[in-house]
Amino acid sequence: SQQGEEDPQALSIQEGENATMNCSYKTSINNLQWYRQNSGRGLVHLILIRSNEREKHSGRLRVTLDTSKKSSSLLITASRAADTASYFCATDTGRRALTFGSGTRLQVQP
């Protein structure tokens, strides 16, 4: 199984609601990152949280990290239709490339 596993695989909410996505991983990490992908093409980096951090904010995004449970969550507050995309967590385990999960597909209904 993959290093990063997102949960849920798919999420549908109404505009204005909050969206929460979770990521679990197996091995120790240096940092964990969240990326966004529109329409199955290039990914865009959203936020990075280091292993010694517990929470980080960026605009409407809030990321938490629990290294004891090897899990992270991404919260998008006051969602908009434009937030519709797939969201991936990626872990830096000391290898020279990131390890990506399988993603959460978020649909925000206007």
Partner 1 sequence: GAGVSQSPSNKVTEKGKDVELRCDPISGHTALYWYRQSLGQGLEFLIYFQGNSAPDKSGLPSDRFSAERTGGSVSTLTIQRTQQEDSAVYLCASSPEGSTDTQYFGPGTRLTVL
CB of 19 to partner 1, least distance (A): 19
Query: How far separated are the first and last CA of the chain, in Å rounded?
Result: 35
Q: Which amino acid is at 31?
A: N
Closer residue to partner 1 in complex, CB, 31/71: 31
| 3-class secondary structure, 5 | strand
Residues counted in the chain = 110
CB of 47 to partner 1, least distance (A): 10
Residues that bind partner 1 in the complex, under the rule CB under 8 A: 2, 4, 30-31, 33, 35, 40-45, 48, 88, 90, 92, 96-103
